[in-house]
Amino acid sequence: MLWIALHLPHLSLQAFASTLTGELCQGPVALVDNHLISDVNAAALRLGVKPGLKRNTALSLAPRLTLGEADARRDVQARQALVHAALAFTPSVTLEGLDVLLEVRSSLRYFGGLACLLQRLEQALLPLQQGVGPVQIACAPTALGAAYLARWRDDLRQGAHVEDPRALAQLLNRGPVTLLGPAQAHWDDLQGMGLRCIADLRQLPRAGLARRFGPQLLADLDSALGTRPDPRDWELLPKVFEQRLELFARADSTEQVLQGAALLLAQLVVWARAGHGRVQRFELQMLHEARHRADGPSHTVVEVALAQASADAAHLQLLLRERLGRATLAAPTLELRLRCNDLVLGAPPNEELFPTRQSQQEGMLRLIERLQARLGRERVLQLRPQADHRPECASRLSPWEPPTSQRRVEEASPPTGLAQPAWLLPEPQPLTERDACPVLEGQVLQLLSGPERIESGWWDGAGVARDYYIAMRPGGALVWVFRGRLALPVAGKHSGWFLQGRFA
């Protein structure tokens, strides 16, 4: 077996910092747990704020310090995003505290070896850095061994990636005793006995260590070295994506909402890729401040539907920006919730080096998606064919919908009968006649093909009986004309020549 461990040394702090907006993100930030500072960022550290200080002491050193309370639920949610990212590389993902462990032996061949897999894993984790902070990665033949190496990586001058059990044992021998979870509670006693590294601990009698420090200390050590079985429960990808983000300060504008939603969208894309799918539709729910709920709704829901499923976080964020631009916040927002249960399974479209018809079609779909998000779906229209031979009744405007495979086949099929222009006049234009030929703007038209006879509409009182021709002007431009056959009212006339449309 080969395990990869993802250690998150500042997960709690970064999960809180991701809820900050504006200048607060750049200033000093600290996390408080039981009235004591548990973690700080670089700006707070430069001001002398360190873990272990009391709350009031930290504020006296840095009056502008932004303090946040530790929240286990927030940490679990942030870690879940890494679980989803890991599931895109292997189905064998488990947890060790706040660390994420991946068993990747069976995936190495698919990704081209360990080096390539690690490179792609680091790229997949980049969009999540804002919510989880820096990630320390290590590899080992055991799950606990990889977790210990990842936690110890800052002290290692060489890479913490080993595949041989003997090399793992030699490396762990140099590690501090505090790597072992149960040893942290007995650090004073271990230090008093002169036990600082794991090698010192392994030289002592096992029976005596078990009586003094409990059997769990040796059990963890044996599991890390691979001499003891270490069964694990695997994490599963949820079928529905539901994540929440509690903002540190209320959001009064859609721009502030979008800044918080960007983190949720990054997690949504990671979830979609882990399921080997793309997002077709998602909704953002904005929960308003409680004191404003008596006069208005408790929340506002913004739904974004895509014409073509996508797993591009930048594209989803752009559509959400357009959609939020049309939304009006009923009250300040304190919490965001993102939900998606519309996942399109399948591989994404291949990327081409040179533009093709498929890539051009995708560009048009994205343009239509932006127009729908900005203007509304009911304002983006398209022409739909109608079962009517009359040109003015052969199509109708309706809200745009993505083309289906059957419609693509029908649109790709060649037209039958006489070709018709796409540019039709709102009303047929009457033409004069010279020597039995139509005259347009003083120029006699030359009839090239026709007639194409259309007799239709007798059932609705707007019947027509026409003979259509393709005609050419002296300059070479093509037009579409017809001559009325019966005494039916057409553009205020009963018969004669009329101009119906122009060819591009």
Domain ranges for the chain: 3-27+64-225, 245-372, 423-502
The confidence score (pLDDT) of residue 415 equals 43
Picking from 189, 193, 191, 157, the residue whose alpha carbon sits closest to that of residue 174 is 157
Calculate mean pLDDT across residues 441-455: 86
Amino acid present at 50: K
Give pLDDT tens digits for 460-500.
Answer: 777 788 889 999 988 888 999 998 876 544 444 446 889 98
> Is pLDDT above 50 for 413?
no
What pLDDT was estimated at residue 350?
Answer: 57
Residue 366 has pLDDT above 80, yes or no: no
Task: Report the pLDDT value the prediction gives residue 423, as an integer from 0 to 100.
Answer: 81
Helix (H) or strand (E) holding 466: strand 464-472
Two structure tokens written together for 337: 């919730």
Compute the average pLDDT of residues 72-90.
91
pLDDT average, residue stretch 293-300: 68
CB neighbour list of residue 47: distance below 8 Å, 6 or more residues apart: 28, 61, 62, 65
Asked whether residue 116 carries a pLDDT value surpassing 90, the answer given is yes
Q: Which amino acid is at 226?
A: G
Report the percent of the chain where pLDDT is more than 90: 20
pLDDT at position 143, please? Answer: 92
- The pLDDT of residue 361: 55
- φ, ψ for residue 386 (rounded to 5)? -120, 150
Taking 70 as the threshold, does the pLDDT of residue 349 lie above it?
no
Q: pLDDT value at position 495?
A: 61
Give the model's confidence band at 159: pLDDT under 50 very low, under 70 low, under 90 confident, else very high: low
C-alpha span between 497 and 430 (Å, rounded): 6
Q: Which residues of 68-77 are buried (b: 16+ CB within 10 A; e: fewer)?
A: bebbeebbeb
By the 8 A CB rule, do 299 and 338 touch? Answer: no
d(CA 101, CA 358): 39
From the centroid of its chain, how far is CA 9?
25
Q: How far apart are CA 296 and CA 169, in angstroms?
A: 63
CA distance 340 to 318: 17
Q: Mean per-residue pLDDT for 259-272?
A: 90
245-372 CATH, one of 3.30.1490, 1.10.3470, 1.20.58, 3.40.1350? 3.30.1490
**What would the pLDDT profile of 182-224 be if each residue is shown by its tens digit?**
777 777 777 788 888 888 888 888 888 888 888 888 888 889 8
Let me know: does 322 contact 370? Beta carbons within 8 Å.
yes
Q: Name, in order, each residue with C-beta under 8 angstroms of 70's C-beta and a sequence gap of 6 or more.
A: 12, 31, 32, 33, 38
pLDDT interval class at 405 (50, 70, 90): very low
Average pLDDT for residues 429-445, to the nearest whole number? 87
- Across the range 154-182, mean pLDDT stands at 78
Confidence of residue 134 (pLDDT cuts 50, 70, 90): confident
pLDDT more than 70, % of the chain: 88
87 φ, ψ (degrees, to nearest 5): -65, -15
Residue 141 has what DSSP assignment? S
Sign of CA dihedral 439, 445, 451, 455: negative
CA distance 107 to 155: 29
pLDDT of residue 493: 46
Average pLDDT, the chain: 82
Q: How many degrees, rounded to 5, is the angle at CA 119 between CA 115 and CA 125?
A: 145
Q: How far apart are CA 143 and CA 222, in angstroms?
A: 11
Radius of gyration of the chain, Cα coordinates, nearest whole angstrom: 35
Cis ω on the peptide bond leading into residue 231 (within 30° of 0)? no
Cα within 13 Å of Cα(122), Cβ side: 10
- Choose the weakest-confidence range: 84-88, 142-146, 180-184, 248-252: 180-184
Q: Residue 84: count other Cβ atoms within 10 Å of its Cβ.
A: 25
State the average pLDDT over residues 252-262.
82
Which residues, 6 or more positions from 75, have their beta carbon under 8 angstroms from its beta carbon? 11, 12, 15, 98
CA angle 422, 427, 433 (to 5 degrees): 95
Judge whether 160 and 149 are in contact, CB under 8 Å.
yes
Instruction: Examine the pLDDT at 409 and tell me if it is beyond 60.
Output: no
Integer angstrom CA distances of residue 405 from 306, 347, 360, 464: 17, 17, 17, 35
8 A C-beta contact, residue 501 and residue 425: yes
280 vs 392, more confident:
280
Going by their DSSP bridges, the two strands 66-69 and 464-472 should be labelled as unpaired
Cα–Cα distance for residue pair 334/330, rounded to 1 Å: 12
